[in-house]
Amino acid sequence: MSPGILGRKIGMTQLFRADGQVVPVTLLKAGPCMVVQRKTPISDGYDAVQLGLVEFVKPARINKPLTGHLKKAGAEGARFTREFTCVPATTI
Please state the three-class secondary structure of 24-69 as a single string.
EEEEEEECCEEEEEEECCCCCCCCEEEEEEECCCCHHHCCHHHHHH
What are the pLDDT digits (tens) for 7-51? 889 999 999 999 999 999 999 998 788 888 888 889 888 888 888
What are the pLDDT digits (tens) for 40-84? 889 888 888 888 888 777 878 888 888 888 888 887 777 788 888
Q: Is 0.85 surpassed by the pTM of this model?
A: no
Contacts of 77 (CB under 8 A, 6+ apart): 54, 55, 56, 57
In three-state secondary structure terms, 17 is: coil
